[in-house]
Amino acid sequence: MPRAHEEVRVRRRTRTRMRRPPMYRVIMLNDDYTPMDFVVGILMAIFQHPRPRAEALMWKVHTEGAAVVGVYPRDIAESKIMRTHQASRAAGHPLRCIMERDDADR
């Protein structure tokens, strides 16, 4: 038993768990002006999809009006959207992407 003038030290173990960053879906939106070949090129160059997958996604965007083209942490999603918009503007096309939080991540 500690005496009145002695200190008692208690150590607590704390567990630190790393949480995965929230994930965001990048959604490509259809428009009536951007050529299909340009969209496929963007999907291959920026989103790293192989040609068959890029073509399938392009058709989904074209027929359904939008498609999820990738799921990434927020900073990567923002970067890919920004690069898509810059390339689109530089080529004179109105291609747009948006992002939304992935519900499966919550």
Write phi, then psi, for 90 (nearest 5 degrees). Answer: -60, -35
In a domain, 13, yes or no: no
List the structure tokens of 41: 């090129």
Give the pLDDT score at 105.
Answer: 58
- What's the sign of the alpha-carbon dihedral 45, 48, 50, 56? negative
Give the pLDDT score at 98.
Answer: 99
In a domain, 65, yes or no: yes
- Domain span at 91: 23-105
In a domain, 12, yes or no: no
| Number of independent structural domains in the chain | 1
Give the pLDDT score at 23.
Answer: 97
In a domain, 37, yes or no: yes
* Residues 43-89 pLDDT 10s: 999 999 999 999 999 999 999 999 999 999 999 999 999 999 999 99
* Residues 30-49 pLDDT 10s: 999 999 999 999 999 999 99
Q: Answer yes or no: is pLDDT of 1 > 70.
A: no
Give the pLDDT score at 5.
Answer: 67
Nearest CA among 28, 26, 97 for reference residue 64 = 28
- CATH code of the domain containing 97: 3.30.1390.10
List the structure tokens of 90: 């530089």
In a domain, 16, yes or no: no
Give the pLDDT score at 9.
Answer: 76
In a domain, 2, yes or no: no
